[in-house]
Amino acid sequence: MGDVVVIGAGVSGIQAALDLANHGVVVHLIEREPTIGGHMAQLDKTFPTNDCSMCILSPKMVDVQRHENIRIHTLSEVERVEGDAGHFRVTVREHPRYIDMVACTGCGDCIQICPVEVYNRFDAGVGVRKAIYKPHQQAVPDRVVKDAEHCIECGLCYDACGPQAILHEDTEKETVIEASAIIIATGYEVFDARKKSPLGYLKFPDVVTSLELERMINASGPTGGKIGRLSDGKEPESVVFIQCVGSRDTSLCRPWCSCVCCMQAIKNAMLIKEKYPAIAVTIFYMDVRAYGKGYEEYYERAKNVGVRFMRGIPSDVQADKNGTGMQFRVENTETGEVETLRPGLVVLSVGIQPTDATAALAGKLGLPIEETGFIRSVHDALDTTGTIRPGIFVAGAAVSPRDIPDSVASGGAAAMRAFAGSKNKKGAKGAIPVKDTLTLWWDESLCGIRYIDQTLLPTEYAIAGCTSVDRLIAAIQRLEIRGAPVLGVAGGFGVALAAFTCTGRSFGEFSRAVQHEAGRIRESRPTAVNLSWGVDRVLARFLVETDVTSAKTTALDEARAIADEDTRCCHAIGENGATLLPDRCTVLTHCNAGALACSSWGTALGVIRSAVEEGKKVSVIACETRPLLQGARLTAWELARDGIDVTVITDSTAAHLMRTGKIDAVIVGADRITRDAVFNKIGTYMHAVCARHHSIPFYVAAPLSTFDATRTEHEVTIEERGRDELAIVGNRILIPDGVPVVNYAFDATPMKLVSAIITEQGVVRPPFDINTLLSRPEPKNKP
pLDDT score recorded for residue 425: 37
pLDDT in tens, 721-770: 999 888 887 778 889 999 999 999 999 999 999 999 999 999 999 988 87
pLDDT score recorded for residue 134: 95
Please compute the mean of the pLDDT values over residues 173-183 and round it to a whole number.
Answer: 92
pLDDT in tens, 18-50: 999 999 999 999 999 999 999 999 999 999 999
Answer yes or no: is pLDDT of 621 > 50. Answer: yes
* CA–CA dist 686, 730 (Å, integer): 28
Strand order across the beta sheet in which 440-443 lies: 440-443, 448-452, 463-466
Within a 13 Å sphere around the CA of 193, how many CA atoms are in the beta-carbon half? Answer: 25
Q: How does strand 280-285 pair with strand 308-311? A: parallel
pLDDT score recorded for residue 20: 95
Q: How does strand 665-668 pair with strand 585-589? A: parallel
* CA–CA dist 451, 465 (Å, integer): 6
pLDDT score recorded for residue 424: 44
Instruction: Answer for the pair 581, 616: CB distance below 8 angstroms, yes or no.
Output: yes
Answer yes or no: is pLDDT of 778 > 90. Answer: no
Answer yes or no: is pLDDT of 79 > 90. Answer: yes
Percent of the chain with pLDDT over 70: 96
pLDDT score recorded for residue 658: 97
pLDDT score recorded for residue 729: 79
Using DSSP, state whether 405 is helix, strand or coil. helix
pLDDT in tens, 275-291: 999 999 999 999 999 98
pLDDT score recorded for residue 429: 40
Mean pLDDT, all residues of the chain: 92
* CA–CA dist 221, 122 (Å, integer): 9
pLDDT score recorded for residue 164: 94
* CA–CA dist 168, 165 (Å, integer): 10
Nearest CA to 691 among 779, 754, 744, 640? 754
Using alpha carbons only, what angle is made at residue 761 by residues 757 and 764, rounded to the nearest 5 degrees? Answer: 30
Using alpha carbons only, what angle is made at residue 267 by residues 264 and 271, rounded to the nearest 5 degrees? Answer: 135
Q: Residue 482, Cβ neighbours under 10 Å: how many?
A: 27
pLDDT score recorded for residue 443: 86
* CA–CA dist 196, 350 (Å, integer): 10
Lowest mean pLDDT segment, chosen from 231-240, 262-271, 333-342, 722-731: 722-731
pLDDT in tens, 241-259: 999 999 999 889 899 999 9
pLDDT in tens, 310-343: 999 998 999 988 878 999 999 999 999 999 999 9
Please compute the mean of the pLDDT values over residues 137-157 and round it to a whole number.
Answer: 95
Q: How does strand 677-681 pair with strand 207-209? A: unpaired
Residue burial 270-281, b: 16+ Cβ < 10 Å; e: rest: bbbbeebeebbb
Res. 771 pLDDT band, cuts 50 70 90: confident
pLDDT score recorded for residue 426: 39
Answer yes or no: is pLDDT of 596 > 90. Answer: yes
Res. 267 pLDDT band, cuts 50 70 90: very high
Using DSSP, state whether 759 is helix, strand or coil. strand
* CA–CA dist 291, 260 (Å, integer): 10
pLDDT score recorded for residue 728: 84
Res. 427 pLDDT band, cuts 50 70 90: very low
Please compute the mean of the pLDDT values over residues 610-634 and round it to a whole number.
Answer: 94
Answer yes or no: is pLDDT of 421 > 90. Answer: no
* CA–CA dist 501, 549 (Å, integer): 12
Please compute the mean of the pLDDT values over residues 63-79 and round it to a whole number.
Answer: 95
pLDDT in tens, 431-483: 445 555 789 999 887 889 999 989 888 877 778 889 999 999 999 999 999 99
Please compute the mean of the pLDDT values over residues 546-560 and round it to a whole number.
Answer: 95
* CA–CA dist 122, 117 (Å, integer): 14
Instruction: Answer for the pair 31, 187: CB distance below 8 angstroms, yes or no.
Output: no
pLDDT score recorded for residue 84: 84
H-type helices in 292-422, by residue range?
295-304, 356-365, 404-422
Lowest mean pLDDT segment, chosen from 99-108, 255-264, 301-310, 438-447: 438-447
pLDDT score recorded for residue 781: 39
Res. 1 pLDDT band, cuts 50 70 90: low
* CA–CA dist 64, 73 (Å, integer): 12
**Which residues on neighbouring strands pair with residue 146, listed in sequence order?**
132
pLDDT in tens, 374-409: 999 988 888 899 998 889 999 999 999 999 999 999
Phi, psi of 343 (to 5 degrees): -75, 155
* CA–CA dist 222, 219 (Å, integer): 8
Answer yes or no: is pLDDT of 428 > 80. Answer: no
pLDDT score recorded for residue 380: 82
pLDDT score recorded for residue 205: 95
